[in-house]
Amino acid sequence: MVTEEEQVLSGFAQVFVYIFSYTFLLSVAAAIFVAWFIRDSLKVDDIDTKHVLVTGCDSGFGNLVAKQLDRQGFHVIAACLTESGSSDLRNAASPRLKTVLLNVTDSVSIDRAVEMVRRETVERGLYGLINNAGRSIPIGPTEWLQPEDFRKVMDVNLMGLVEVTLKCLPLLKKAKGRVVNVASILGRLSLVGGGYCLSKWGVEAFSDSLRRDMRHFGIKVSIIEPGFFKTNVTRLDLIEADLQRLWDHLPDDVRDTYGHKYLEEYLKAQRFSMNILCSSDISKVTSCMQHALTARHPRTRYSAGWDAKLFWIPLSYLPAFVGDFFINVMLPPPKQC
């Protein structure tokens, strides 16, 4: 028969086992975190000997990261779409930074840019490629769009990125370099119709296959998944003007199914959402790009922005009906629904 004293001792033993178990698990978790943090903090050497090509440098993420990498000592080759963007960037950077005009939808333009990179890098090869060039419009309800509207965005965000990457691969293999592709949280959740979400899903898929294929050659591939930031891609005046164009070109019978006030309500909901979500601190994105280039062990994916980390990416792992619910709350329903 178990005495009262033995029961007390047994209870103490169980408490001790629980405490020891939890303490052990917490210690293991803390050790793993410290080891990860140390590994994540290790940096590459000889930055001043490395060349990096950045696309889409006229403004936004590309413009800022080009200047930041230049200040760090990289040999930056900044690809701009316009001569004015190229000139402004050269004036804001050191003489070490070079610019090149690049239209990622034009194969001839890509060939010229890659040849310039080859001349600049000589035998060292290209250490880093940041595929940042992109556009968002036309974007809107799927029924409002034509096939050419999809192509305009897909050609820049996906096919242009693919072609630039493929033509730079020989130079990247020579340097055992890095590819940093700018995707989006909209590469996880399709919140709106048009080529933007499709292109960013494509960037995610292309980057995953590229990473697995190129690891054998020492090339590392990282994906940046920004949330909503204030850049030309999210400029409301441009988005709203294009939505008005799409609305004006709809057949009368299609427009009637949405109701004559639908566009007004849609724009109002869009402004409200963008004002809440859009961050002006684009350095949160460029710091991810910098880490992907300078870390000895770059991450496979980087999320940038509070909305990406706390809302969109967690939402992407939940059942589809949960995401559908949030989108339905954010946007107005058509009249005939």
Residues forming the active site: 196
Q: For the chain, how big is the Rg over CA atoms in Å? A: 25
Distances (CA, A) of 290 to 66, 77, 222: 10, 15, 11
**Are 40 and 110 spatial neighbours (Cβ–Cβ below 8 Å)?**
no
Q: What share of the chain is helix, strand, coil (3-state, %, to 5)?
A: 60, 10, 25
Nearest to 171 by CA among 52, 65, 293, 299: 52
**Are 161 and 206 spatial neighbours (Cβ–Cβ below 8 Å)?**
yes
**Are 225 and 308 spatial neighbours (Cβ–Cβ below 8 Å)?**
yes
Three-class SS of 252-319: HHHHHHHCCCHHHHHHHHHHHHHHHHCECCCHHHHHHHHHHHHECCCCCEEEECHHHHHHHHHHHCCC
**Are 102 and 109 spatial neighbours (Cβ–Cβ below 8 Å)?**
yes
Distances (CA, A) of 208 to 157, 178, 179, 181, 189: 16, 14, 11, 10, 17
Distance CA 114, CA 126 (A): 10
Question: What's the chain's length in residues?
Answer: 337
Distance CA 285, CA 61 (A): 7
Distance CA 186, CA 144 (A): 19
